[in-house]
Amino acid sequence: MIRLQLIRICILLLLAICQLPSARAQVADSVIVPSIPSKLYWANKPNSFVVKGNKIVIVAGAKTDMFRDPNVTYNTDNAPKLLFQPADNFVLSTSIQHGFVHKWDGGAIVLMEDSLHWIKFCFEKITPAPIGW
């Protein structure tokens, strides 16, 4: 069983194919959100982000993703991730909202131990929708 203190919880919002301006503003190395007792830090900084109270809005760059091909022929991990180390006894409630523009645009919540051991709960745009949806 993975020990809870080894799990890093990351809040991830990725815009896989979003066309954003190429100029990047400076992004702080760490972030403080009042409802999370630990300082959050970036793995792969975003183009920009805003913290408003307990809400975080993250804007990823074009063609960013966190994906492992089941056939191990294609893997990428360049999406911005905001991470923190939780306490042993920890509960997180969160939600994702996304302004979908292009196919595969998405937002996700990721539970992560390291780059090979993680699970992603993704809210993603698929156009057109599969038959039966």
Range of the domain at 54: 4-124
The reported pTM is 0.68
**What is the count of structural domains for the chain?**
1
Express each pLDDT in 123-132 by its tens digit. Answer: 888 776 666 6
Residue 17: pLDDT over 70: no
**Over residues 65-85, mean pLDDT:** 87
Residue 29 maps to a domain: yes
Residue 131 maps to a domain: no
Residue 26 maps to a domain: yes
Residue 65 maps to a domain: yes
Q: State the Cα–Cα distance between residues 39 and 33, nearest whole angstrom.
A: 8
Residue 29: pLDDT over 70: yes
**Over residues 111-128, mean pLDDT:** 83
Q: State the Cα–Cα distance between residues 17 and 19, nearest whole angstrom.
A: 6
Residue 132 maps to a domain: no
- Omega into 86 within 30° of 0, i.e. cis? no
Segments of the chain assigned E as strands: 8-14, 30-31, 40-43, 48-52, 55-59, 66-68, 75-77, 81-84, 106-114, 117-124
Residue 45: pLDDT over 90: yes
Residue 130 maps to a domain: no
Residue 133 maps to a domain: no
